[in-house]
Amino acid sequence: MDNIQSIKNRFGIIGNSPALNYALQVAAQVSNTDLTVLIVGESGVGKEVFSNIIHSLSARKHNPFIAVNCGAIPEGTIDSELFGHEKGSFTGAVDSRKGYFETVNGGTIFLDEIGEMPLGTQARLLRVLETGEFIRVGSSKVQKTDVRVITATNRDLLDHTQQGKFREDLYYRLNTVPIRVPSLRDRKEDIPLLFRKFCVDFSERYKTPSIQLDDEARNILVNYPWRGNVRELKNMAEQISVLAQDKLITAQELRRFLPEVNEPSRLPMIAAPQAKSNGDFSNERDILYKLFFDMKKDVTELKKMFFDILQNPNIAHASNFQDSHLMHNFHPQPEVSTTAVPTAISSPQQPIILQESNKIDHHEEVEETLSIADKEKELIVKALKKHKGKRKDAALDLGISERTLYRKLKEYNINE
């Protein structure tokens, strides 16, 4: 435990959570070996600090150390950065250049965000880890290097291997000694200590009194999710140190710097659709689809009612079938006698012809048209008749622009 505390003092690590202490213990134990280490943790937890600890406590501490962010190097140049290249090997290669594995020979290289490394570079890295050999880009000469590799990621590399985004053999080679750095919300007892340390540092830097939190504000601070972890906490402490008017921070004052506290939900909202003002007819076509299927549903219900009557004619008298709302929708013109089933009822969707005698002989279905264009034309003609040829009123009733209506009139050759 004394060794862990000395590491904390040396590298400025604040906190006493069991998960943090265990991670430091593993880092100290593995430092004197040349084993490959994979540091896993969310963004902002301090993974690079652990790579410095391992290098500084190792036998390589007097040799070079370099940290490389694999996600910050373009895919086309990362091979050259890591392994070097020969003159003329690609456009812009005016001179030969040594890569990091050559310049850091005998030292330690820290590959941050290893999950962002391209698959081709992963194959080269696997060869270095297994044999200590590499080849410059554009060369055929095999070179040797003695470099300890420490990697870090905030991604689930095992899941990446299953998706084909990361080599499985490289994953197991890197995962020789895993170190999991806990997130800040998993070590809540350390949040007040870290916040206090950051505030003292900033008060000394800016020559201002150090801020204090009341009990309610401290409770909010501890239970805040801290998705950016220690980095976010440090930035927020600096912001409060500079902008807070009163150095005793209340819960209300703290909420000004933590706006998410007031948000009941972080779920995305679905924006309401906007009406289209251009000549695109897709929105009107959606309306026509809806009308079409609504009408077909009504026709299906009407057919079912007729079939029931065919089987039991008394239903027509018992249910006042001819006075139903559905009948008025489809045949509002003449009233139907209450003593007989109508001999013919026309439907805009699917005509049904019934012949009446003392006994119904048969019924016949006529195949309905499913053409959307025909339905569009039919609705436009009806709207024009309804509004006595007034295009503006007809377009408004149809839910389309007057310009779109004019274009449709020409398209379907409709004469008003």
**Selection from 415, 399, 412 nearest residue 288 by Cα:** 399
71-117 pLDDT, tens per residue?
Answer: 999 988 999 999 999 998 888 888 999 999 999 999 999 999 999 99
Distance of CA 75 to the CA centre of its chain: 23
What pLDDT, on a 0 to 100 scale, did the predictor assign at position 382?
A: 87
Q: Is 238 exposed, middle or buried (0-12, 13-18, 19+ CB in 10 A)?
A: middle
pTM of this structure: 0.61
Q: Which range among 6-10, 85-89, 279-283 shows the weakest confidence by mean pLDDT?
A: 279-283
State both tokens at 414.
Answer: 């409709």
Q: What is the DSSP letter of 116?
A: G
Give the position of tokens 């007057």. Answer: 402
What is the C-alpha to C-alpha distance for residues 358 and 14, in angstroms, rounded to an integer?
Answer: 98
State both tokens at 207.
Answer: 């020559």
Q: Which range among 137-146, 293-302, 379-388 shows the weakest confidence by mean pLDDT?
A: 293-302
Q: Which residue has the higher pLDDT, 167 or 302?
A: 167
**Selection from 75, 89, 81, 99 nearest residue 139 by Cα:** 89
Distance of CA 375 to the CA centre of its chain: 40
183-241 pLDDT, tens per residue?
Answer: 999 999 999 999 999 999 999 999 888 889 999 999 999 999 999 999 999 999 999 99
Backbone angles phi, psi at 206, to 5 degrees: -100, 5
Contact at 8 Å (CB) between 35 and 11?
no
**Selection from 136, 146, 177 nearest residue 35 by Cα:** 177
329-379 pLDDT, tens per residue?
Answer: 444 444 444 444 444 444 444 444 444 444 444 444 445 555 777 788 888
What whole-number percentage of the chain has pLDDT above 70? 76
Contact at 8 Å (CB) between 169 and 36?
no
Q: How many residues does the chain have?
A: 416
